[in-house]
Amino acid sequence: TERTLSIIKPDAVQRNLIGAIYQRIETTGLKVVAAKMLHLDAAKAQGFYAEHEGKPFYDGLVEFMTSGPVMVQVLEGDNAIARYRELMGKTNPEEAACGTIRADYAESMRFNSVHGSDSPASAAREIAYFFADDEIC
Ligand code: ATP
Ligand code: MG
């Protein structure tokens, strides 16, 4: 079994899509083992996306991620990292497969509704970035 970090981004929270996205997560068989709603400040968003610092989209990404509340959760299951990324679809919603979260809900490359860890190392870092061990069931 494996854990991954999921974020429902401000564009999706603002459009009342938390429940629809949780429905998809649970339907695929992934378990929500921790969750919290947060409004990120600039420092927290910059640190989370530190790997993208200096890229042309970085400042806009940080501005977007601090623009409203996000829902952050840890998902658990066999092969959770890859399964959740498959459920999300590609970063660019125009390239995302039919039936994925981004194909159905994302508005653009920036306003793309969800985040998911991309490797075991990033999952470990990202889960610890938001949750203490005793906050995970
Ligand atoms: P995430 O890390 O949020 O799960 P991802 O792994 O699919 O998404 P990354 O390459 O890590 O994509 O980029 C992180 C986020 O930065 C994207 O989800 C998107 O919101 C934003 N982003 C990436 N590339 C661009 C771009 N070319 N223009 C605008 N925003 C972008
Ligand atoms: Mg990424």
Task: Please write the tens of the pLDDT for every residue from 67-119.
Answer: 999 999 999 999 999 999 999 999 999 999 999 999 999 999 999 999 999 99
Which listed ligand is nearest to 6 at the C-alpha? 1
User: Which residues are part of the catalytic machinery?
Assistant: 115
Closest ligand relative to 116 C-alpha: 1
Q: What is the pLDDT of residue 13?
A: 99
Q: Is 111 in the pocket of ligand 1 (CB under 6 A)?
A: no
**Distance of CA 46 from the midpoint of ligand 1 (Å):** 13
DSSP for 52-107?
A: GTTSTTHHHHHHHHTSS-EEEEEEEETTHHHHHHHHH--SSTTTSPTTSHHHHH--
d(CA 72, CA 130): 8
Cα dihedral 40, 75, 12, 104 in deg (nearest 10)? 150
pLDDT in tens, 14-46: 999 999 999 999 999 999 999 999 999 999 999
> How much distance in Å is there from the Cα of 92 to the middle of ligand 1?
8
Q: Which secondary structure element, helix H or strand E, spans residue 26, and what is its range?
A: helix 18-27
DSSP letter, residue 110: S
